[in-house]
Amino acid sequence: MGSIAKKILQDHMVEGTFEIGKEIGIKIDQTLTQDATGTMAYLQFEAMKLDRVKTELSVSFVDHNTLQTDFKNPDDHRYLQSVAAKFGIKFSRPGNGICHQVFLERFARPGKTLVGSDSHTPTAGGMGQIAIGVGGLDVAVAMGGGLFYLKTPKIVGIKLTGQLQEYVTAKDVILEVLRRISVKGGVGKILEYFGPGIKTLSVPERATITNMGAETGATTSIFPSDEVTRQFLKLEGREDQWVEIPAGSDEDYDEIIEIDLSAIEPLVAKPHSPGNVVPLSELIGMKVDQVAIGSCTNSSLKDLETVAALLKGKKIAPHTVLGIAPGSRQVLEQIARDGALANIVSSGARILESACGPCIGMGFAPKTNATVVRTFNRNFFGRTGNKTANAYLTSPEVAVAAAVFGEFTDPKKLGTYPTFTFPDEIHIDDSMILEPPTDGSEIEIIRGPNIAPLPEFEPLPENFEEVEVVMKVEDNITTDHIMPAGAKILPLRSNLPEISKHVFEQIDPDFYGRAMKAKENKGGAIIAAENYGQGSSREHAALAPMYLGIKFKIAKSFARIHRDNLVNFGIVPLTFENPDDYDKINQGDKLAILSIATALKEGSKPIIVKNLTQNIEIPVTYDLSERDREIILAGGKLTYVSSKLK
């Protein structure tokens, strides 16, 4: 049998050696983008001056920036639609649903490779697919036929035994994984699920687990493709795309984590981290102000049919607000046709658009000092759209109980647990997915006034002299800290000069002014602790600092996608050789690195950082392949790859 992740990666490997820590280059079959990251990704694809995408399938989704308060978002949607038509990309229109839910339903295929410009792309791993979240530029390169490079990961087998008890869910499974390994325990690893317990989990349940595996820092997560997978594809009218990929066994993995499903209890992630997991029993009685059910983690047909059954004949608590967002138009139409939607509406719930919405702070913000229950995958500080709110992550079942009783409570109080079975058939309508014409050469790309040209990418200089430390931060800084989401900022994703004004504003409103002042001199640097850049794949968390003159970042460790994005935009990611040296650099210090270009060219390390302010020398190192170093020396991946993809 063997590891399914290893099999798929080796089947797609074009370059490198499959050895843990060694770089490999794999062929990518499919790509996806969403509108918050897609505008920049397609601007980058345009810059490569190619006529057509070269993947088997590329899909552009609109699901993030659907709150249209002015011209910016709808202008971007028209840009994305015209680009898709020109270059041979399917276009999922606004209202068709969240990219990961729609992709799982209509496009995910066992045994294929997928990269997506969203960190929750591993959702498709629930279908037996290698699906990896990356920066938009990596997606653009894959669409151009370029390989995707990654370090050969460790493959961790998560052995599931037993069966979930009533009111315990797939969400609790991944929260249990997070409780055990933390938000950085998956870095450099693929989480592969096997064991007799997997047969008890449907594809949507598996997808919930692989989706939120992103919060561990894992490269991706994956389930086998079995009879459960085949039945889901049959329901979606795609049974002909099924291939069997059997589960591995104990000897196939570099490490094994065993989880007895029957021993799991309802769990909750407390503010402000998905890894801050405690039993629900510790929170019983805490008043809840707002509940939100949906997101790419828990908005499937199974989720919402269960929610509807639990809400039937009940009303939400007077002091609690409930909002529900179906994950796709297919899900919304199905619950409307079978009557489940009526139960939801009758309860007093607000029906939100089939989009990301409140998960990214795009509407449905809570009141001041609110306690918020969400079935989402992240509860980072400020992500609700309100910095005073405290967000807790739960299963839909626990969320319904909180909405009905107005406080954290045992969901068993809702009554008999509803048994969900998939219908024999569902209504399938792909009319909201626009097919590109065979020849897009005559298509005119539509650009609104908010779309700004890409900046110039300059080669790495030989020396950094008197670079100012414009920011020093602690452990687990997220991409939300660096480049916030929300209704105010997301519409600026295609306008780099404007969005750059918001870098780090969540934690330091003065950052922009300091960075611009440093840029006018010798440039800036950022000093960080552990797991810097965890969270979203948003490349703007690297691209905007680059625009602001950030030359290098020194951290104790970097999250995978953010480190890759720094490389892509020519910012040098350095790590302390001695982590305690983090304490030897202060915000405002002036640093110098001499002969850095030569050092990267030759692959020599450590590199000496001179703290000119404190008159000390600090050795730093880097974890960069030869190709990574060449990209940085060129000033970024766009200049590096453009000539190679003609």
Please identify every residue annotated as catalytic: 63-64, 118, 378, 536, 538
Question: Among candidates 126, 146, 181, which has minimal Cα distance to 4?
Answer: 126
- Look at the block and give the residue holding tokens 């020109």: 86
Q: Distance (Å, rounded) from C-alpha 432 to C-alpha 429?
A: 8
Cα of first residue to Cα of last residue in the chain, in angstroms, is 39
Q: How far is CA 355 from CA 125, 343, 351, 359, 505, in A?
A: 21, 21, 11, 9, 26
Q: Distance (Å, rounded) from C-alpha 341 to C-alpha 350?
A: 11
Residue 438 and residue 51 in contact, taking contact as beta carbons nearer than 8 Å: no
Question: Among candidates 55, 173, 199, 34, which has minimal Cα distance to 102?
Answer: 34
DSSP per residue over 166-195, as a string? TT--HHHHHHHHHHHH-TTTTBTEEEEEES
Helices H, strands E: what count in the chain? 20, 27
CA 549, 551, 556, 557: dihedral to nearest 10 degrees?
90
Strand runs labelled E in 473-571: 524-527, 550-555
Say which residues have a Cβ less than 8 Å from residue 159's Cβ, sequence separation at least 6.
194, 195, 197, 250, 256, 257, 258, 259
Instruction: Name the DSSP class of 249.
Output: -
Which two three-digit tokens encode residue 104? Answer: 């799982």
Residue 55 and residue 126 in contact, taking contact as beta carbons nearer than 8 Å: no
Q: Distance (Å, rounded) from C-alpha 490 to C-alpha 274?
A: 22
* Burial environment of residue 453 by CB neighbours within 10 A (0 to 12, 13 to 18, 19 or more): exposed
Residue 365 and residue 358 in contact, taking contact as beta carbons nearer than 8 Å: yes
Which two three-digit tokens encode residue 530? Answer: 């552990």
Strand runs labelled E in 309-388: 321-324, 350-351, 371-374
The H-or-E segment that residue 630 falls in is helix 626-634
CB atoms within 10 A of CB 151: 17
DSSP per residue over 37-51, as a string? HHHHHHHHHHHTT-S
CB atoms within 10 A of CB 411: 26
Residue 178 and residue 271 in contact, taking contact as beta carbons nearer than 8 Å: no
Question: Among candidates 499, 529, 504, 527, which has minimal Cα distance to 514?
Answer: 504
Which two three-digit tokens encode residue 312? Answer: 């039937």
Question: Among candidates 589, 586, 519, 528, which has minimal Cα distance to 556?
Answer: 528
Which two three-digit tokens encode residue 494? Answer: 């295609």
Residue 630 and residue 601 in contact, taking contact as beta carbons nearer than 8 Å: no
CA 436 to chain centre: 26
Q: Distance (Å, rounded) from C-alpha 604 to C-alpha 585?
A: 23
